[in-house]
C-alpha cells in the first residue's frame, strides 16, 4: 500500500513523519560524534627557551653556526636567541652599560651566556672575576641562569704577554682554570668550549689548528661548529651529533668534534649501531652487512646470520671513509 502513495501523501503520513524525526535524531547524533572526532585539535606549543649571549667577536663568530644548529634540532622552533657581540668588549664594559644590564633584567631569559674578552680572564683575573660576579647577580635577580662561555687560547700564545703565555697551552690552562673557578663561585653553568678545543688539539693537531681563523685567534667554521656543539650539549643536555646539520666540514672531522663535545660536557652518546651498510673489501667484493661496532683497528658486523670481525685497513677506500665517521664502541 505504501508504494502506491503519492509523494505528497507519503510526506503527510504520520507514521513516516515519526520515522523521519527518529532518523533525523540519529543523523544529528552521528554528525555530532563525527564533528568531535575530526574537529581540529589545538596544538600545545612547546615552551619557549630564551637565550641571550653577551660577549664580543668570539660570540659574533659563532652566532650563525649556533643559530643554524639549534634551528635544525627538534626543539629549534621553540628557541629564541639574541646576541650582543661588539668587537673587543669585555664583561666589565658590559656591566657598566645600562642598555645591556636593562636587556638582561627585562628580557625574561632562561639562559644568559657571558663571554669575556679573550685575554682578560688570563691576564687580568680579578677584573674578570669582579665583572662576572656583578653580571651573574643581575642574571640571578632576573630569574635566568648564567652560562659562562669558556673560550680557547690563541694558537701561538699571547704575543702581548709572550713571557707569561708563550704558546697555546700556557694560555688555555689559565683560561680553563679561571673560568671554571668563577662558574663554581657563582653556582653557574659552564660551557667548556676551551676544554673541548684542547681535547681536539690533543687528538688531532691539524684539525685543532684548522679551527682557528687566519688571525690565530677567532674561530674558523670548524671552530664555530665546535663551540655550537658545546653550547647545545650544555644548555639542552643532548648529543649534538644527533642533529642533521648541513656543513662543508668533512664528516670524520665533525664526528671528532661531536665526540669531544659529548665527552667534555658529559653527554652519553646515543648509540648509532646497528647500521645496515654494504661493505666492500680492497679486492672489490661487496657484502650486505649490519655493522654492530668498531674499535680503532677492526669493524664488527653481522652478515648472513653470522658475526664477523674485519680489519678496517682491508676495506675499500670508500668503505674506510664511511667507517671513519662511526664512533668507537669497542
CA nearest to 213, candidates 58, 105, 63, 66: 58
- In this prediction, residue 27 has a pLDDT band, given cuts at 50, 70 and 90, of low
Task: Give the pLDDT of residue 22.
Answer: 52
Query: For residue 217, how many C-alpha atoms fall within 13 Å in the half-sphere facing its CB?
Result: 13
State the pTM of this model. 0.71
Query: For residue 103, how many C-alpha atoms fall within 13 Å in the half-sphere facing its CB?
Result: 19
Task: Give the pLDDT of residue 313.
Answer: 93
* Domains defined along the chain, listed by start: 49-265 (3.40.50.1110), 275-323 (2.30.30.700)
pLDDT digits (tens, 9 = 90+) for 129-170: 999 999 999 999 999 999 999 999 999 999 999 999 999 999
Task: Give the pLDDT of residue 270.
Answer: 63
Nearby residues of 23 by Cβ (< 8 Å), 6 or more positions away: none
pLDDT digits (tens, 9 = 90+) for 189-237: 999 999 999 999 999 999 999 999 999 999 999 999 999 999 999 999 9
Host H or E run for residue 277: strand 275-280
pLDDT digits (tens, 9 = 90+) for 71-122: 999 999 999 999 999 999 999 999 999 999 999 999 899 999 999 999 999 9
At residue 10, does pLDDT exceed 80? Answer: no
Contact 258, 227 (CB under 8 A): no
Long-range contacts of the stretch 135-140 (C-beta < 8 A, 24+): 135/54, 135/91, 135/94, 135/95, 135/101, 135/104, 136/186, 136/188, 138/101, 138/104, 138/105, 139/104, 139/109, 139/112
Contact 194, 172 (CB under 8 A): yes
- In this prediction, residue 324 has a pLDDT band, given cuts at 50, 70 and 90, of confident
Task: Give the pLDDT of residue 16.
Answer: 38
Amino acid at each position: 500500500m505504501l508504494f502506491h502513495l503519492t509523494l505528497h501523501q507519503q510526506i503527510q503520513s504520520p507514521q513516516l513523519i515519526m520515522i523521519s524525526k527518529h532518523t533525523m535524531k540519529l543523523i544529528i547524533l552521528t554528525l555530532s560524534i563525527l564533528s568531535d572526532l575530526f574537529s581540529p585539535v589545538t596544538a600545545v606549543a612547546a615552551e619557549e627557551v630564551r637565550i641571550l649571549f653577551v660577549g664580543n667577536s668570539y660570540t659574533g663568530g659563532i652566532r650563525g653556526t649556533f643559530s643554524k644548529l639549534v634551528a635544525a634540532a627538534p626543539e629549534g622552533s621553540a628557541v629564541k636567541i639574541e646576541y650582543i657581540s661588539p668587537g673587543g668588549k669585555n664583561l666589565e664594559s658590559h656591566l657598566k652599560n645600562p642598555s645591556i644590564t636593562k636587556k638582561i633584567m627585562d628580557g625574561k631569559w632562561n639562559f644568559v651566556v657571558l663571554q669575556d674578552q679573550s685575554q682578560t680572564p688570563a691576564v687580568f683575573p680579578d677584573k674578570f672575576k669582579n665583572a662576572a660576579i656583578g653580571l651573574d647577580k643581575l642574571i640571578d635577580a632576573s630569574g635566568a641562569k648564567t652560562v659562562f662561555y669558556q673560550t680557547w687560547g690563541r694558537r701561538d700564545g699571547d704575543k702581548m704577554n709572550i713571557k707569561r703565555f708563550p704558546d697555546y697551552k700556557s694560555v688555555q690552562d689559565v683560561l680553563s682554570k679561571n673560568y671554571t673557578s668563577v662558574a663554581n663561585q657563582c653556582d653557574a653553568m659552564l660551557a667548556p668550549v676551551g676544554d673541548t678545543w684542547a681535547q681536539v688539539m690533543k687528538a688531532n693537531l691539524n684539525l685543532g689548528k684548522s679551527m682557528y681563523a687566519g688571525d690565530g685567534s677567532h674561530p674558523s667554521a670548524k671552530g664555530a661548529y665546535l663551540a655550537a656543539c658545546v653550547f647545545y650539549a650544555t644548555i639542552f643536555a643532548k648529543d649534538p651529533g644527533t642533529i642533521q646539520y648541513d656543513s662543508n666540514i668533512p664528516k670524520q672531522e665533525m664526528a671528532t668534534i661531536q665526540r669531544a663535545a659529548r665527552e667534555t660536557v658529559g653527554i652519553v652518546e646515543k648509540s648509532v649501531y646497528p647500521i645496515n651498510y654494504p661493505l666492500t673489501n680492497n679486492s672489490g667484493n661487496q657484502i650486505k652487512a649490519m655493522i654492530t661496532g668498531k674499535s680503532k683497528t677492526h669493524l664488527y658486523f653481522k652478515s648472513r646470520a653470522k658475526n664477523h670481525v674485519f680489519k678496517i685497513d682491508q676495506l675499500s677506500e670508500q668503505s674506510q671513509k664511511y667507517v671513519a665517521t662511526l664512533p668507537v664502541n669497542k
